[in-house]
Copies of this chain bind each other. A is one copy, B any other.
Amino acid sequence: MEGENGEAVRNKQVVFRDYVSGLAKDTNMEVRESTVKLRLPEGSSGLLVKNLYLSCDPYMRIRMTKVDVPGNADPFRPGSPITGYGVARILESGHPNFKKGDLLWGKTAWEEYSLITAPETCFKIADTDVPLSYYTGLLGIPGLTAYSGFFEVCSPKKGETVFISAASGAVGQIVGQFAKSFGCYVVGSDGSREKVDLLKNKFGFDDAFNYKEELDLDAALKRCFPEGIDIYFEIFGGKMLDAVLLNMKLHGRIAVCGLISQYNLEQPEGVHNLTNLILKRVRMEGFLVFDFYHLYPKFLEMVLPQIKEGKIVYVEDTAEGLENAPAALIRQFSGRNVGKQVVVVSHE
C-alpha cells in the first residue's frame, strides 16, 4: 500500500462549494486532489480509513440548504468534503473497538482517505459473505430505516394494505419486500416504466404504477386500493401525500420517512387534505433511523439469512470513482437512478 510509512499520498475529494436553493447541480460540488499522511495524529482515538463505497441519499439535499435544523441534518460546510455514510477499511486505529484491517460502515467523507473522529458511531462489519456495498443500503441506514419504519412506526397487521411511494429506491424496495413477507397487500409507485417493472417483477409487489403517467393520483390509488390504504410508507411527499390522504382507511398509519419530491423546491408544496387525518383517525408520524440504532443487531439477524437464501433482493445503481460522485448524487436527487445509488471509491 502506498504511503504505508506515513508519507503523503494523493487524496481525491468531493468538496461542497456553497449552499443551494432550488435545484441542486453537480457543479455545486467539485472534485479536487489534496494530499494526506496515512498516519493517525498523535494521541488520536479516531480511525484512519480507506473509503470503499459511499452512499447517495435524498436527505443529503437538505444538508445542501443552510438551515438550522436539529439532529442529523447539519448542513454541509462549504470548502469541505461532502460527508455521508460509507463502507471503509481501517488503516490505523486509535480506538479499542476497532483494529487495522477491520471493515466498518458509518459516517465518513467523500474522499479516498478519511480520519473518522467519532468511531463509536460506526458499525464493524462482521459478515462479508454478502456484497460489501450492501452496507450502504440494504444492510446499512436504508435497511434499518425500512425495518424500523415498517415494523415499529407502521404497526402492521397481516392482511393490511400498504402503499409505498418512491418504492424502487434504497428504502422503498426493502419496505415492500418486508411488507409482502409479513403478509400485507403491497402497492408501490415510482417514476418510470423500468422502475414499475422492477417493483412488480423483481421485488414482488402486488401492483405498481408510474405516477408520471397518471393524470389523477387519487384515481390511480382508488384503482389499486378499492377498499383504501391501511399503511402509507411516505417517501415522496407533496401531491402524492394529498392523494393518499383521500384514500386512507379508518385508523390508518402514515410513516413519514421522507418527502423527496420537495427537497429540490424553493418552497415546499402545500398539503391540503389533512382534514382526513381527523375523519379517518389517521396517525402520521415522522421518524429518523437514529432513534432505532439499538435494533440493528436484531435487524441483521433477520435479514442476513434472507439475503443468503435469496428471499430478499436488492438493486443498486453504481457509479465508479469519486469523479462521478457529484453526478451520481444529483441523478439520485432527480430520481434518475434505478435502485440504491452507490459510489465505488475503490474495489481495494
Interface residues of A (CB under 8 A from B): 62, 69-71, 73, 237, 241, 250, 256-259, 262, 267-288, 291
Contact = CB atoms under 8 A, between A and B. Distances in A.
Contact of A259 (B275, B282, B285): B275
B70 A280 contact: yes
Q: Specify how many copies of this chain sit in the oligomer.
A: 2
13 contacts: A62-B275, A69-B279, A71-B250, A256-B277, A257-B278, A259-B275, A262-B275, A267-B272, A269-B272, A271-B274, A279-B288, A282-B285, A282-B286
Contact of A256 (B237, B250, B278, B288): B278
A287 B281 contact: yes
B274 A272 contact: no
Nearest to A286: B277
Contacts of A288: 278-279, 281
Contacts of A270: 269-272
Nearest to A237: B274
Contacts of A276: 286
Contacts of A241: 274
A73 B279 contact: yes
Q: In terms of DSSP, what is the predominant structure of the interface of chain A?
A: loop
A275 B279 contact: no
Contacts of A69: 279
A81 B186 CA distance: 45
A336 to B, nearest CB: 22
A278 B259 contact: yes
A304 to B, nearest CB: 28
B291 A281 contact: yes
A284 B255 CA distance: 10
A283 B281 contact: no
A68 B273 CA distance: 14
A73 B278 CA distance: 11
Nearest to A251: B291
Given A271-B271, A272-B267, A272-B269, A279 B70 contact: yes
A284 B284 contact: yes
Given A259-B275, A277-B286, 11 more contacts: A69-B279, A73-B279, A256-B277, A256-B278, A267-B272, A268-B275, A277-B284, A278-B288, A281-B288, A283-B284, A284-B284
Contacts of A274: 237, 241, 256, 259, 268, 271, 286
B291 A286 contact: no
Nearest to A259: B275
A340 B291 CA distance: 42
Contact of A283 (B259, B267, B278, B283): B283
Contacts of A291: 281
A255 B68 CA distance: 25
A232 to B, nearest CB: 13
Nearest to A73: B279
Contacts of A268: 272-275
A234 to B, nearest CB: 9
Contacts of A282: 285-286
